[in-house]
């Protein structure tokens, strides 16, 4: 296995390992950003949003819904791309520092354990209904809402494929 592949795979971690890294980064004074999602059919909107998220700190951690969670949230036909491949695609992005899977419907366990400096969600949320917002704010962190990249969503892409 090449060094590049090993470096990318090493970014896909268990929560306990990400927590150790987060503590190291905190000791080094680095600002940690956290966001989460399904990221099914990775597209330019995802990449732009993740770049913007990274621009809010020094390190970016992504919480990725595991397949069982996606099925509960989006239906039996989803995800289109399995968790292992979605994690690999996200980890391959140079500005992503860690990817951690979660099987629950929300990333609250990850957020409570990691307590990021910045929690980022997309514009379809408001701060009052963002999971983990209260915990991050109570710990001195901030919550930011990123705008949508217009016209790009996995659901729209899936519908376009189905209709062609």
Domain ranges of the chain: 3-163
- As a whole number, mean pLDDT of residues 36-62 equals 93
* Cα–Cα distance for residue pair 44/52, rounded to 1 Å: 12
Q: Are 12 and 87 in contact (CB under 8 A)?
A: yes
Q: What's 3-163's CATH class?
A: alpha beta
* Cα–Cα distance for residue pair 155/57, rounded to 1 Å: 29
Q: Per the structure block, which two tokens stand in for 33?
A: 């950003």
State the chain's mean pLDDT as an integer: 91
What residues contact residue 80 under an 8 Å CB cut-off, 6+ apart? Answer: 40, 41, 154, 158
* Cα–Cα distance for residue pair 16/34, rounded to 1 Å: 16
| pTM metric for this prediction | 0.92
User: Between the CA of residue 90 and those of 47, 124, 152, what are the distances in Å?
Assistant: 9, 21, 17
Q: Which pLDDT score is estimated for 164?
A: 76
């Amino acid at each position: 296995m090449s060094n590049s592949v090993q470096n990318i795979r090493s970014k896909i971690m268990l929560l306990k390992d990400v927590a150790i890294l987060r503590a190291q980064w905190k000791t080094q004074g680095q600002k940690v950003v956290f966001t989460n999602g399904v990221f099914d059919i990775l597209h330019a909107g995802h990449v732009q949003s993740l770049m913007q998220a990274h621009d809010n700190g020094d390190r970016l951690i992504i919480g990725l819904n595991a397949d069982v969670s996606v099925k509960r949230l989006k239906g039996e036909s989803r995800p289109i791309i399995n968790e292992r491949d979605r994690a690999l695609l996200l980890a391959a992005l140079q500005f992503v520092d860690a990817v951690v899977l979660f099987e629950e419907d929300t990333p609250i366990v990850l957020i409570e354990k990691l307590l990021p400096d910045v929690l980022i969600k997309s514009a379809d949320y408001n701060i009052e209904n963002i999971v983990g917002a209260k915990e991050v704010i109570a710990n001195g962190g901030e919550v930011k809402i990123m705008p949508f990249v217009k016209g790009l969503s996995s659901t729209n892409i899936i519908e376009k494929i189905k209709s062609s």
